[in-house]
A = this chain, B = another copy of it.
Amino acid sequence: MRNSEPIEKLIASFRALPGVGYKTAERYAYYVVDADMNEVKELAENILTAKTETKFCKICGSYTNKDICSICQNRNAQTICVVAYPKDVAVMEKVKNYDGVYHILGGTLSPLENRGPDDLRIKELLARIQTEKTKEVIVATNPDVEGDATAMYIAKLLSPLGVKVTRIAQGVSMGTDLEYADEITLSKALEGRIVIS
């Protein structure tokens, strides 16, 4: 063991963060040890507060610290953008000209991982479209097999309701993750969306 036990334990904790290896975790740990006590306390508190105060919006399912998120509170549901995970909302919000709401599925259809329609928030989407008189549903799942299958499933499901279902298209290159797309790519993808039902 190169470091004292408390430092090695902290390194192990930091390694759980996405994309963090031993060396990076060690740098973070040394930073913590060297930092002001107040700053360290704030970091620890902010971690706990973010975890305990973050809930899922009762309408769309995205992260919020209230019952209903600020987007659902302030925008109408004429257009609903359907995404797989709460984190995708912040990604899509980079597109400044989108003023609709979101609906978080909680994942994508995956036969391999045994995830069917009942495991996603699809019933909630259906109910929402009917009560809100939604005109368009934009499916913004990742451009991969699961994301495409999910989009097709939603399109089929919603076609009897007379709601337009579109899929973000041009600009998002196949196989990449939505999270890494830049604003321009996302903006183009929104503009070039194609009707799938």
Q: Which residue of B lies closest to A39 (CB)?
A: B16
B18 and A50 contacting across the interface, CB-CB below 8 Å = no
What per-residue 1/0 map shows which CB atoms of A16-47 lie under 8 Å from chain B?
A: 11110000101111111101010111111111
Contact of A114 with B by CB under 8 A: no
Q: Is the CB of B31 within 8 A of A54?
A: no
| Copies per assembly | 2
Total residues of chain A contacting the partner, CB 8 A: 54
In the complex, the answer to whether B47 meets A43 with C-beta atoms within 8 Å is: yes
Residues 46-70 of A contacting B (Cβ, < 8 Å): 46-54, 63-66, 69-70
A186 to B30, CA, bound (A): 20
What residues on B are CB-neighbors of A13 within 8 Å? 42-43, 46-47
Do A90 and B40 touch (CB < 8 A)?
A: no
B51 close to A40 (CB less than 8 A): yes
A94–B53 CA distance with the chains assembled, in angstroms: 42
- Could you jot down 20 A-B contacts, CB within 8 Å? A2-B90, A6-B65, A7-B50, A9-B46, A9-B49, A12-B46, A16-B31, A16-B35, A18-B28, A18-B31, A19-B27, A30-B86, A30-B87, A32-B50, A33-B50, A33-B51, A37-B52, A40-B47, A43-B47, A47-B47
